[in-house]
Structure 1
Amino acid sequence: MAVKWLLNEEHSDRATALYDATAEYDQTIVAPPLLPLEVTNILRQRLRAQGGISLAGAIVHLDDFLALPIEIHDPPELHHQALSLAVAHGLRPRTMRITWLSPSIFAATSGPAT
């Protein structure tokens, strides 16, 4: 979703509305340390696509993303929490995906940690 804040893609309007609502209600966007890597990877994919963005454009978008007020949380419990959530909810062994949810749960229950 973060890339949709940067690029004009399908559903970018919805992603932007959600982002704006977090600011309007003074909410904090919390993400795991994977987010900047994921955004960088997606920008690289868009750069390689035919008719995609230029390197200069990708750098501008990356700088715009890095300037967003997103709290990157990497609490020591993150990986244990992801494993426990996956087991508790019978999820496939894709705990990497669970790490996207874990920082939000940690922030809501224990306060911020970096």
Structure 2
Amino acid sequence: MSEELEGYPLVTIINSTSHQAKGRVAYPGCHDDDWTALPWDTWKATSRGLCLVSKITAQVNVDGRWIDAKPYESSGTSYSRYVLIQTSSNSFEVTRRVVGEASDQEEPEPAI
């Protein structure tokens, strides 16, 4: 059975920085995922089901010190593709990835 028939697509987070990163994906009413990614690496969840994403946090290791990134926050989304970006020398942010292959097209936020 394909992943789409079993629920929402698995969450992926690209670490587009030159630093090690870690964080958490929060799914309201479901078990959260802890994630880690080496520089320039991609983390992919192993399960998701029908769980919406409400928050993705990240901490970035810069010279042995963990720096909190600006988290991605939503009231609850089925979107699955995210990226950790560096916004200045010691500032980072988790954001949606909305460019790339045709399969990476932006998915609409659910109406509340």
Identify whether the pair has TM-score above 0.5, normalized to the shorter chain. no
The structure with more radius of gyration = 1
Please, what TM-score do these two structures have when normalized by structure 2?
0.20
Please, what TM-score do these two structures have when normalized by structure 1?
0.20
Higher helix share: 1
Higher strand share: 2
